């Protein structure tokens, strides 16, 4: 109806809005139309004569406004609905009960107010319901963005092999800040490899050293002049030399970036190659390995400088008839680990190392037997009590170097025979099991978590590590009064630095894999506690002990002066021969030459040290001690470490 039409009506005509009820409000509600009609013009008193079109009287429709006509439209109700309405009308009931008006807040009692606040139209439940739905939508939306949108736009990758540890682990420390005292200690420790080198010295850094053993291997047309003397004498023992190379490789692989920060990486790689060059030449055919140059008993009848040696230096080999599974497998481990070190530097050399490693492992596993049984004379110096640990050690490194999962299957299937799960042992040149367990924990933490055998290796590694922590319920009692880990009176430092190195490595594995805790018989320890243990051991070695002496020669103002070492004890210009050189052994004066970087055997159980060349068990250094402490210092040279996988398959 438009405005023109309305304006033509008399004033006593009234316009009424037309409400139409929605279909959704009720299926059978009547639609009501009201519109004005012309009534008697006399007066409003005649309104009582007004009738509606449907014939009902005004009395029956009290709600109908005057001067209006109602027209009701309705859908035909269903038979069931009509019957129900008739029954309710007959009973005098209304079809729709009116909703009582809401109470005013001031008129409510305390209980009613509480109910209103909780379940009212805008009460607590209403807002909780809204919040729940909003949270669900936000979570779902965020997950979709994170899981699909981000990677699709190359904003990040979800399959990063080694996630970084939370920054909160080292809140107030710069993770790239070098610890100066450790940087200095590393530069010193690295020099002992130069002190021990055999052969034609290139870029010689030790003033009192020169070329030596140039004819080694010549009787079989091999150049075995390189390699390193193991300790204070001049025999080249292949078994501990290979272990030195394996550990040094491991240190470079895990902490080469730290070494590079203090300009020691190239020195470490050069020292490693000096050993691996020897190992390659010592393996002239698949089933032959030369494992020793020189005769220990003959060597020990002389006290002379290596440059002055004139005696015979016989060779010792293992082969199919006289097997040496232990020494062959250790050599395989060394070359496999070293192949990873040189992979990005010299791929051809790396490939050669890996080829030899695979051949030596096959030889070791096919012709099983301990070299101590095949060659009884080796028992007096580097006796092997078994070869199972070396087989697992070599297979673990071959898996890392080659990516061939058959080697991982090997450690899984041979674990029952060789791994001694649940019974930890000390890590050393003779027993590699603790090293195997930690190395395979790397695989378990960074990759395969489903393999049960890998979990058993990891569990045994953690049992070993729990024993190192002094506050742990599982703590070993094999310590000095001042807290140095002490296992054996002969070269006790070997076990100290070996265990500490594994503690640092595992601590960094935990950080890099975001593994929060180490479980030790009911107590939990975080990665920093393993690291703190290693720091305490290293600080003891560097002088924080009751002797106030550094056991790393050349570090600090006070260190051993009479190191049991032939070359260091004899003046360069001395005119002495094999037999009369023993006067230099027995004299009570400091060595004329400093064996820089030598880590001596270490103190007694009472934390005391006798500085004498004749105190061999405490004053003799070894190359494997040096490899282990290089790894330990490199791991601690910065405030913290997060490792990346060195496996690039």
Catalytic residue IDs: 564
- E strand or H helix at 46, and its extent? none
Separation in Å, CA 53 to CA 12, 14, 56, 70? 20, 17, 8, 7
Q: How far apart are CA 542 and CA 545, in angstroms?
A: 8
Kindly give, in sequence order, each residue whose CB lies less than 8 Å from that of residue 101, ignoring residues fewer than 6 positions away.
Answer: none
Backbone torsion region of residue 533, taken as left when φ is above 0, otherwise alpha when ψ lies between -120 and 50, otherwise beta: alpha
Q: Count other C-beta atoms under 10 Å from residue 560's C-beta.
A: 28
Q: CA 235, CA 292: separation in Å to the nearest integer?
A: 7
The CB-side HSE value for 14 (13 A sphere, CA atoms) comes to 12
Closest CA to 403 of 236, 219, 647, 590: 647
The answer to whether the beta carbons of residues 585 and 614 sit under 8 Å apart is yes
Taking CA atoms, 323 is separated from 326, 360, 418, in Å, by: 9, 11, 18
- As beta bridge partners, residue 69 has 35
Neighbours of 147 (CB within 10 A): 11
Listed in sequence order, the DSSP H helices in 218-302 are: 238-261, 265-281, 296-299
Taking only Cα atoms into account, the Rg of the chain, rounded to an integer number of angstroms, comes to: 44
CB 624 within 8 A of CB 231: no
Cβ atoms 343, 350 nearer than 8 A: yes
CB of 543 within 8 A of CB of 556?
Answer: yes
Rounded CA separation 400/462 (Å): 21
**Alpha-carbon span 250 to 599, nearest angstrom:** 19
Q: Report how far residue 29's alpha carbon sits from residue 22's, in angstroms, rounded to the nearest whole number.
A: 9
Q: Residue 321 contacts by C-beta under 8 Å, 6 or more apart in sequence?
A: none
Q: What is the rounded distance in angstroms from the CA atom of residue 323 to the CA atom of residue 331?
A: 14
Look up residue 186 and give its two tokens. Answer: 């590393």
CB atoms within 10 A of CB 535: 18
Long-range contact list for 292-296, CB < 8 A, 24+ apart?
292/235, 292/236, 292/237, 292/238, 292/316, 292/378, 293/213, 293/216, 293/217, 293/224, 293/227, 293/235, 293/236, 294/234, 294/235, 294/236, 295/235, 296/233, 296/235, 296/377, 296/380, 296/381
CB count, 10 Å around CB of 106? Answer: 6
Q: What are phi and psi of 385, to 5 degrees?
A: -95, 0
């Amino acid at each position: 109806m438009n405005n023109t039409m309305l304006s033509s009506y008399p004033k006593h005509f009234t316009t009424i809005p037309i409400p139409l009820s929605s279909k959704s409000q009720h299926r059978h509600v009547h639609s009501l139309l009201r519109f004005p009609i012309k009534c008697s013009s006399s007066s409003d008193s005649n309104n009582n004569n007004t009738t509606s079109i449907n014939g009902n009287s005004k009395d029956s429709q009290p709600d109908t406004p005057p001067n209006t006509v109602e027209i009701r439209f309705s859908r035909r109700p269903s038979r069931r609905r009509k019957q129900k309405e008739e029954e309710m009308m007959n009973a005098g009931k209304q079809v729709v009960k009116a909703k009582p008006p809401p109470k005013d807040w001031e008129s409510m009692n305390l209980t009613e107010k509480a109910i209103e606040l909780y379940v009212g139209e805008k009460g607590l439940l209403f807002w909780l319901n809204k919040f729940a739905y909003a949270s669900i939508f936000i979570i779902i939306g965020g997950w979709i963005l994170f899981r699909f949108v981000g990677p699709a736009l190359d904003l990040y990758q979800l399959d990063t092999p080694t996630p970084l540890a939370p920054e909160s682990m080292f809140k107030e420390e710069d993770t790239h800040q070098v610890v100066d005292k450790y940087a200095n200690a590393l530069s010193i420790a690295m020099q002992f490899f130069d002190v021990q080198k055999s052969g034609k010295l290139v870029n010689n850094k030790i003033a009192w050293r020169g070329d030596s053993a140039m004819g080694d291997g010549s009787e079989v047309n091999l150049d075995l002049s390189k390699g390193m003397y193991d300790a204070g004498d001049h025999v080249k023992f292949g078994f501990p030399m290979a272990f030195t190379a394996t550990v040094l490789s491991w240190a470079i692989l895990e902490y080469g970036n730290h070494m590079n920060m203090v300009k020691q990486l190239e020195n470490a790689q050069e020292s490693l190659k000096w050993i691996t060059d020897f190992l390659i030449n010592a393996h002239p055919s698949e089933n032959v390995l030369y494992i020793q140059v020189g005769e220990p008993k003959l060597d020990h009848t002389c006290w002379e400088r290596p440059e002055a040696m004139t005696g015979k230096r016989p060779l010792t080999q293992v082969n199919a008839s006289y097997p040496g599974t232990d020494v062959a497998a250790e050599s395989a481990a060394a070359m496999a680990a070293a192949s990873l070190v040189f992979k990005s530097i010299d791929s051809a050399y790396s490939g050669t190392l890996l080829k030899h490693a695979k051949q030596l492992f096959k030889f070791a596993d096919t012709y099983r037997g301990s070299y101590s049984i095949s060659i009884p004379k080796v028992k007096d110096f580097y006796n092997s009590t078994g070869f199972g640990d070396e087989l697992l050690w070599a297979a673990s490194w071959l898996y890392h170097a080659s990516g061939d999962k058959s080697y991982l299957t090997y450690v899984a299937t041979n674990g029952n025979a060789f791994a001694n799960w649940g019974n930890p042992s000390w890590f050393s040149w003779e027993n590699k099991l603790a090293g195997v367990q930690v190395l395979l924990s790397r695989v378990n933490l960074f990759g395969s978590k489903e393999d049960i055998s890998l979990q058993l290796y990891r569990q045994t590694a953690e049992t070993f590590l729990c024993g190192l922590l002094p506050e742990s319920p599982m703590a070993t009692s094999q310590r000095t009064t001042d807290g140095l880990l002490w296992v054996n009176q002969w070269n006790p430092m070997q076990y100290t630095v070996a265990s500490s190195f594994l503690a640092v490595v595992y601590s960094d594995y935990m950080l890099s894999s975001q593994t929060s805790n180490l479980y030790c018989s009911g107590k939990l320890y975080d990665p920093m506690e393993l690291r703190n243990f290693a720091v305490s051991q290293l600080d003891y070695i560097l002088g924080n002990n009751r002797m106030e002496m550094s056991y790393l020669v050349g570090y600090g103002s006070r260190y051993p002066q009479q190191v049991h070492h032939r070359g260091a004890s004899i003046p360069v210009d001395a005119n002495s021969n094999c037999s009369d050189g023993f006067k230099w052994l027995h004299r009570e004066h400091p060595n004329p030459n400093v064996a820089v970087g030598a880590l001596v055997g270490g103190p007694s159980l009472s934390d005391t040290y006798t500085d004498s060349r004749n105190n061999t068990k405490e004053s003799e250094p070894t190359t494997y001690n040096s490899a282990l402490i290089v790894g330990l210092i490199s791991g601690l040279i910065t405030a913290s470490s997060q490792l990346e996988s060195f496996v690039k398959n």
